[in-house]
Amino acid sequence: MSIDFEIPAEAKAIRAKVRQWVHDECIPAEKRLVDKESYKTVLAELRTKARAAGLWLPFIPKEHGGMGLGPLANALVQMELGESHLGALSMNSQGPDDATMLTLLAHGTEFQKEKYLKPLLNGDKRVCYSMTEKAAGADATGMQTRAVKDGNENYILNGEKWFSSAASAADMAVVMAMTDPDAPRHQRYSTFIVELPNPGYVIKRDIGTMAKEGPLSHIMGGGHSEIEIKDLVIPAENLLGGEGQGFNMGQHRLAYGRLRHGMHNVAMAQRALDMAAAHVTQRETFGKKLSERQGVQWMLADCASELYMARLMLLHIAYKAERGMDLRQENSIAKVFLAHMVHKVVDTAIQLHGALGYSTDTPLAAWYTHIRSQRLVDGPDEVHRWTVGRNVIKAYERDGTTAAAAGGDLL
């Protein structure tokens, strides 16, 4: 009996539809923004067209207004949307909103779904996620922001947050804080929904980074904010998922975010490779096209190989997700691999473009400075490699072989 790698026809059809959408609508709309057209106007037009075409909230169940795609079909869609920075935004599938929608669907009360989830699903509001702190970094269990109950009506939060992505564009925030310092380590934290603006939640600054920024970067949610939380009053009804559940919910949403980053990385890398192939087939040096040079062909081959492995990783993870299987080891492996893959492919595309690639006449330079963050966000390389390596040791100690932790038991 052979392993079936056939993608269902309906999933292929939606992938083709989204691919055409990105190429026919989203990429051309990027130029409209470069030409200084209003971002709000351009995005509103894209979203109106997307909804009319049935391209809205791919990962959300149909009863909530989405496309109802499972993990496999959604992975195929996301691997197309990342070709344009307007792709996910056009279909209301952008982070960090997407993960918050999933969290509210799974853990929100009826009140929270009505008041906070519906505006997100409609694309009327945006949300940011405030978990990371300077003192804790990648160790979420080291956060110091505290939430103290004030009778039965409110929680009072005090602390600071760091690199709260999209805070400057958000209408609400999901904030994690310690509610019980004496509880077991992973049960000390709770999550709260905060309506913005709020005098207790102050954006001190948008942190400058090495990523190339334009006038729309922060409006589109590209900013990373430093937050001061001082005497922030949160109604008890805005506690999300119950006390002590913040860490577990956070890990779940980060798991999806890591995969979404990886899926978009595949799309970006594919577009970079297409640009490189187009350039080398047109460019001549010393009387010969670049595409005829073996060294150039090898560079393209390396990029194609990286993309092949990346797609297989994501499709296998989607396969396991479809069946409710444990995919934590594969998720960590993919998180690291996909971040390095997109960096390598874009870097190669820049090299093949020569000075043109280093310039801002193509999007490659902007992508290059942005994707360096992929090895830091949602857990840095070191944390995920540590997790993977630790699982390899555990597998050997348990089974006398590392196969279960190293892909030998793929299914």
**The two three-digit tokens of residue 273, written as one number:** 């490779």
Q: Which of 226-230, 326-330, 407-411 has the lowest mean pLDDT?
A: 407-411
Quote the pLDDT of residue 221: 67
- In 35-96, which ranges are continuous DSSP H helix? 39-52, 71-81, 87-90
Quote the pLDDT of residue 222: 63
**Cβ–Cβ < 8 Å for 103, 173:** no
Residue 339 reports pLDDT greater than 70 = yes
Render pLDDT for 110-142 as a digit per residue (tens, 0 to 9).
Answer: 999 999 999 999 999 999 999 999 877 777 778
Q: Which of 44-48, 53-57, 135-139 has the lowest mean pLDDT?
A: 135-139
Average pLDDT, the chain: 92
**Cβ–Cβ < 8 Å for 85, 30:** yes
- Other CB atoms within 10 Å distance of the CB of residue 292: 11
Q: What is the mean pLDDT of residues 188-196?
A: 97
Closest-CA residue to 96 (of 146, 131, 70, 69):
131
Render pLDDT for 279-297 as a digit per residue (tens, 0 to 9).
Answer: 999 999 999 999 999 999 9
Q: d(Cα 279, Cα 410) in Å, to the nearest integer? A: 38
**The two three-digit tokens of residue 322, written as one number:** 């479809």
**The two three-digit tokens of residue 24, written as one number:** 């026919």
Q: d(Cα 85, Cα 276) in Å, to the nearest integer? A: 19
Q: In sequence order, what are the residues at sequence separation of 6 or more whose Cβ sits closer than 8 angstroms to the Cβ of residue 52? A: none
Structure-derived torsion over alpha carbons of residues 113, 116, 122, 124, reported in degrees to the nearest 10: 170
Tell me the percentage of the chain whose pLDDT exceeds 90. Answer: 76
Q: In sequence order, what are the residues at sequence separation of 6 or more whose Cβ sits closer than 8 angstroms to the Cβ of residue 281? A: 289, 290, 291
Q: What is the mean pLDDT of residues 153-162?
A: 96
Render pLDDT for 215-270 as a digit per residue (tens, 0 to 9).
Answer: 777 777 668 899 999 999 999 999 999 999 998 888 777 778 778 889 999 999 99
Residue 1 reports pLDDT greater than 60 = no
More confident residue, 84 or 259: 84
Closest-CA residue to 284 (of 276, 293, 294):
293
Quote the pLDDT of residue 201: 98
Q: What is the mean pLDDT of residues 77-93?
A: 95
